[in-house]
Amino acid sequence: MPQYKAPVRDMRFIVNEVLESEKLYQSLPGCEDATEDIMNAIIEEGAKFAEEVVAPTSRAGDEEGCTWSPDGVKTPTGYKEAYAQYVENGWPALSADTVYGGQGLPNLLGIIINELNGTANWSWLMYPGLSHGAINTLEAHGDEQQKQHYLTRLISGEWTGTMCLTEAHCGSDLGLLRTKAEPQADGSYAINGTKIFISAGEHDMAENIVHIVLARLPDAPAGTKGISLFIVPKFNLNEDGSIGERNAVHCASIEEKMGIHGNATCVLNFDNAKGYLIGPPNKGLNAMFTFMNVARIGTAVQGIAHTELSFQGALAYAKERLAMRSLTGPKNPDGPADPIIVHPNVRRMLLTQKAFAEGGRAFIYYLAQLGDVLEHGTEEEAKRADDLMALLTPIAKAFLTEVGFEAANMGVQVYGGHGFIREWGMEQIVRDSRISMLYEGTTGIQALDLVGRKVLGSGGKLLLEFTNIIDEFCAANAGGDNDEFLEPLKAAKDEWLEISMKLGEAAIENADNAGAGAVEYLMYSGYVTLAYFWARMAVVARAKIAEGDGDASFYEAKLMTARFFYKRLLPRKEGLKALVAAGADSLMAMPEELFQI
C-alpha cells in the first residue's frame, strides 16, 4: 500500500489562501474560534493521526476483512484500537453542537479530518463517518430526549450510527420499501423488516450502534409519501439513558465485496425491534435527506481520497522506476535507463491525478463552507448557500467519484504489471474506490437529480446562482495574465447555460432526452465547475508569485497544473456536449425483444 503523506500544504493553501476561511468564519456567529492558527493546528494534528494511527490499518483491513459470528462482527486488526484513540482525541465532536458535547467548530474542519482519515483507510473511516449523518439528522429532527439519550453519545463517539434504507427489492426507489413500524402502548414502535447493504451495521468498535431506519406505519400512504424515520438502537436504553437489554435487531450476514473489505456491509433483520419516531409521521424521507446529503458529500470526499492516494503511490514509483530513454535524449545518462516520469504518457496520468485531487479538494472544501453558511448565516445567506448546495452536491458526488475511479486505474497503469500485483497496494485502491459510484445514489441517479430537479426543475434558477458567481469572479480578475484561464472559463460557462437550455427544450419534446443525456450533462457540469476552482487557485498562485510571498515552487506548480487542466482535461467537455445533444433516439429505438444473446 502506498505510504500516505497528508497533503497539508495544499490543504492550508485552499483553506487559508483560496477560500479565505478565517475571514468567512469571523463573520459567522458561532464560528469565531476558527482562526487561521486554530485551523492550521487541527490540520497538522489530524494529519499526524491519519498517517501514524489510521494508515497502518489499511493492509490488515483489506486482507483480513471482517469476521461474522452469531454474536456479532469482529473488525480487522487495529481498527478497534485506532477508533479508541480517535474518540480519546475528541475528533468525533469536532464540528458538532456544543450544547450536546461538541466543539462547535465549522463543518469544513470535519470534512478535512474525514479526508485525511479516509485517504489513510476509507474502510475504517466509514465506521465513524456514518455517524455524522446520524448526528446531523438528530440535530435537525430529533426531540430533546432523543438528543440527550442518543445525540450526546454519537457526538462523543461512544456510539456510532448507521443509515438503514436499502431493501432487497428496492435500492434507490425507496417508495417500494416494505419495513413496517407498528405503534406500541408505551409510545415506541415495533420495527419489522430486513435491510441490506448497511455499512458499519455491526462491529466491535463501540458499545452501541444507533440505526436510523426508514419504515412504514400501518396507515401510511403508498410510495415515498408514506415513509417515516425511526431510531432503532442495537441496545435499548433504560429510563436514565444507560444501556439496557439487547434490541431485536441482528446482523444476519456480511457481504463478500469487491473492495472496502475492512468495513462490515451488513444484512440487518429487525424482528419486533423497538424503535422511536423521528419527526412527524410519513415525513421520514424529508428528514432522511439530511442524512443523505451529508453522506453524498462524504462520498465525494472518497473520490478525492482515492485520487490522492493513487497519485502518491504512482508519483513515488514513477520517480524511481527506470525504463527506456526519454524521446528527447537521456535524462539519467549514468543509469541504464531513465525514470519513467520523463515519459509524456506517464506525465499525462500523473498530472490528471494531481489536477483531479487538488481541484476536487477545493470543490469539496467550498461545499463544506456553504454548509457552515447554511447553518450559521443570515436567512438570506443561508437560502443562497442552500440553493448552491442543492445544485453542486450531485455534481460533486458523481463527478468526483467517477474521476476518482479513473485516477485509481491510472495509478495501476503507471506501475504496469506491478500495479496488478497485490503487494504494491495499487489494485486495492481501484477495488475500494469502485463502490463510490454506487452507494448514496449511483451516478445515473445523481444525474437525474441534477437535470430533473435542480436545473430544469428550478427553471434554471439554481444554475444561474452559480454561473453568476463565475461571472463575478471573472469580472473581478479580468485583464493581464489571468485571462489565460478566465477567457476559456467564461466561454465554458456560457456554453453550459446554452446546453442546459437545449436539453430542457429537448426534454419537452421527449422526456427520455433528459434521461439520455443526464450523465454526460453532469460530467460536463463537473469539468466546468472544476475549471472555476482551478481558475481561482491560479489567480491566487500568480498573485503570491508576484508578491514574492511563500514558496514560489509550490505556486508555480499550481499554475502549471491549472494549465494542464485547461489544455488537457477541460476539452473533454466537447465530446460530452455532443452526447448530450444526441438525444434518446439511438438509445430507445431498439425494441426490447431485439436485445438478445
Mind listing the pLDDT tens digit for each residue in 163-209? 999 999 887 777 789 999 999 999 999 999 999 999 999 999 999 99
- For 233, the enclosing helix (H) or strand (E) is strand 228-233
Summarize the confidence of residues 579-587 as an average pLDDT.
97
- Alpha-carbon distance of 110 to 129, in angstroms, equals 10
Residues 6+ apart with CB under 8 A from 5: 51, 312
- 579 exposure class (CB count in 10 Å sphere: 0-12, 13-18, 19+): middle
| Cβ proximity of 108 and 15 under 8 Å | yes
In the structure, what pLDDT confidence band is assigned to residue 293 with cuts at 50, 70 and 90? Answer: confident
Quote the pLDDT of residue 291.
63
Which fold does the domain 288-448 belong to in CATH?
Answer: Butyryl-CoA Dehydrogenase, subunit A; domain 3 (1.20.140)
Of 440, 465, 472, 495, catalytic: 440
Q: Cβ of 240: how many Cβ atoms within 10 Å?
A: 7
Summarize the confidence of residues 13-40 as an average pLDDT.
98
**491 residue type, one letter:** A
| Cβ proximity of 131 and 182 under 8 Å | no
Summarize the confidence of residues 545-552 as an average pLDDT.
92
φ, ψ of residue 299 to 5 degrees: the values are: -70, -35
Nearest one of 168, 179, 190 to 220, comparing CA atoms: 179
Beta bridge partners of 208: 159
Residues 6+ apart with CB under 8 A from 110: 94, 95, 132, 368
Beta bridge partners of 215: 228
Residue 129, pLDDT above cutoff 70: yes
When computed from its CA atoms, the radius of gyration of the chain, rounded to whole angstroms, is 24
| Cβ proximity of 267 and 198 under 8 Å | yes
- Alpha-carbon distance of 569 to 587, in angstroms, equals 27
Domain ranges (residues) in the chain: 288-448, 450-587
Q: How does pLDDT run across 434-444, given as a tens digit for each residue?
A: 999 999 899 99
Quote the pLDDT of residue 66.
98
Assess whether 440 carries a catalytic annotation: yes
Mean pLDDT, the chain, integer: 96
Q: How does pLDDT run across 242-256, given as a tens digit for each residue?
A: 999 999 999 999 999
Strands 159-164 and 208-215, how do they pair? parallel
Q: How does pLDDT run across 360-411, given as a tens digit for each residue?
A: 999 999 999 999 999 999 999 999 999 999 999 999 999 999 999 999 999 9
